[in-house]
Amino acid sequence: MNRPPMTLSEELKCLICLDLFTDPVSTPCGHNFCKSCLNQCWNNSQTYRCPFCKAHFKKRPDLKINTALRPVLELFREKSGLSKSEVLCDFCDDIKKKAQKMCLVCQSSYCETHLEPHHRVAHLRKHKLIDPGANLEKYICQKHEKPLELFCRNDQTCVCLLCAVTNHRDHNTVAVEEESRVRRPHLRKMKTDVQQMIQDRMKRIQDIRHLAKLSKKASEKEKADSIKLFTDLIRSIERCQSELLEMMEQKQKAAEKQAEELIKELEQEITELKRRDTELEQLSHTEDHLRFLQIYPSLIRPPCTSSCAEISISDTQLSVEPLRKALVHLQQTLDEKLSRTVLERIQQHAVDVTLDPDTAYPNLVLSDDGKQVTSKDIKHKLPNNPERFDYCPCVLAHEGFSSGRFYFEVQVKGMTDWDLGVARESINRKGIITAIPEAGYWIVVLRNGNNYLAEVHTEAHFDVLPFHEKRREEL
């Protein structure tokens, strides 16, 4: 009968205590046990056999912690929600005491009593002691199963003594304690830097949340303005539609009344003409010459015709001119409201810009309030500080920003050539300047009075609005 496969929890249990492994070790025959359980079993016996398969060993095997199985065990405990087992002394016979330290060289755990030789015996005092609950895998060389006692400065990694005389033989290796002492003074600065980075990021988070809040407010206002705009537009359309329908109905009624009057007059004329036709027929057969001469003059007179005998198509046809005028009016209303809405939305990001005299080219003259700049033929003697442009007639503003939306107005009345935009603070300000995005400039330029060019890309976006006199009055 085949034995059913073991579950992971069964694979991770000691075959002696039937509990999860504590410091698992492997026998030469490949079976795993708690180190303390196996030591206790062999301490009470003159022979050394595997407790499971009974394999006999001529000499007591040197037990080493199974560094491959231990992390699997820790992961299983973590996933299963089990608390970490208390590490016990490997050398207590009857009642196991809690281990105080673990020796990396001996790879054994010691209670306070059995740890005493490591404090007293000379060669044992050189052994490396760590907390018993620490992950042994992090302290042991996985290749040579020796303590990681040295630090290789060439490869920036911890190595054991065997590594130092083999793969790292020509490298600069020092004791881990010495390297730790060298690096420890840097911790304070690193901690300060990390704390500053934390504060910077927290400030950035606050700024982003504030910007998101402002953006949400602006979006809600923009949405409300749009709804109001289109509501007004719909009302205007409905009002014009009502007026057009009423006008068309009045025109239709007038045309119908005119047609009825025309038909009535024409019917009366037809009756009169039929009467005359009868008289003419009778007169053509009479022999009474005197009667013929008396009636004849009245019959040859042209019949009286209606003033409405002819009716113009333009009088009955519905005119489309009112509709065209209404549509033109609607288009003008829509353009005005849209322009006003866009301008109001952009003006929410208005900033007060003041020119910085320390950056101005020597030929430029700034007003006392820093709001105006003019170009003169005389080059003023000014200190050539690093912020000042020394070749191109440029000037920057005091105000700066790293992100967001900003609106400002610049009057360039009468100027046929100008450059306007934003630039990085780190731009080159000396010598010939090529104002392109790659050099840190995002600008709009005018040349020859009517040729516009924009030097921008995805990092910046400009809404350039012409400042007409009409718009000035609206503001």
Q: Quick: pLDDT tens for 202-250.
A: 888 998 889 889 888 888 888 888 888 888 888 888 888 888 888 888 8
Determine how β-strand 101-103 pairs with β-strand 129-130.
Answer: antiparallel
Q: How confident is the model over 140-167, as a mean pLDDT? A: 89
pLDDT in tens, 2-32: 555 567 777 888 888 888 887 888 899 989 9
**Per the confidence metrics, is the pTM higher than 0.85?**
no
Q: What is the mean pLDDT of residues 321-348?
A: 67
Residue 441: beta bridge partners? Answer: 423
Q: Which of 94-98, 329-333, 446-450 has the highest mean pLDDT?
A: 446-450
Measured CA distances, 355 to 219, 372, 374, 395, 438 (Å): 32, 8, 12, 7, 24
Q: Quote the mean pLDDT of the chain.
A: 80
Q: What confidence score (pLDDT) does residue 12 get?
A: 85
Q: For 34-51, what is the mean pLDDT?
A: 85
DSSP structure string for 284-341:
HH---HHHHHHHHHHHHSPPPPPTTSS--HHHHSPPSHHHHHHHHHHHHHHHHHHHHH
Amino acid (one-letter) located at 55: A
In terms of pLDDT, which residue wins out, 75 or 365? 365
Sequence-distant (≥ 6) Cβ neighbours of residue 381 within 8 angstroms: 362
What pLDDT, on the 0 to 100 scale, is given for residue 457?
A: 52
Specify whether the CB–CB gap between 136 and 148 falls below 8 A: no
Q: pLDDT at residue 90 above 90?
A: no
Higher pLDDT, 289 or 359: 359
| Mean pLDDT lowest among 253-267, 397-411, 421-435 | 397-411
Phi, psi of 382, rounded to the nearest 5 degrees = -125, 150
The strand order across the sheet containing 418-423 reads 418-423, 441-447, 451-455
- Angstrom distance (rounded) from CA 80 to CA 21: 14
Confidence (pLDDT) at 452: 84
Question: What is the tens place of the pLDDT at every residue in 369-407?
Answer: 988 888 887 777 888 888 899 888 899 998 888 777 788
DSSP secondary structure letters along 215-265: HHHHHHHHHHHHHHHHHHHHHHHHHHHHHHHHHHHHHHHHHHHHHHHHHHH
Predicted pLDDT at 307: 52
> What is the distance of C-alpha 191 from the center of its chain?
30
**pLDDT reading at 52 higher than 80:** yes
* Most confident by average pLDDT, 12-16, 160-164, 457-461: 160-164
How confident is residue 440, by pLDDT bands cut at 50, 70 and 90? confident
**pLDDT the model gives residue 165:** 92
**Confidence at residue 137, expressed as pLDDT on a 0 to 100 scale:** 72
- Evaluate if residue 173 carries a pLDDT over 90: yes
Q: Where are the alpha helices (DSSP H) in 64-185?
A: 69-80, 116-120, 122-125, 161-165, 176-183
- pLDDT for 152 equals 94
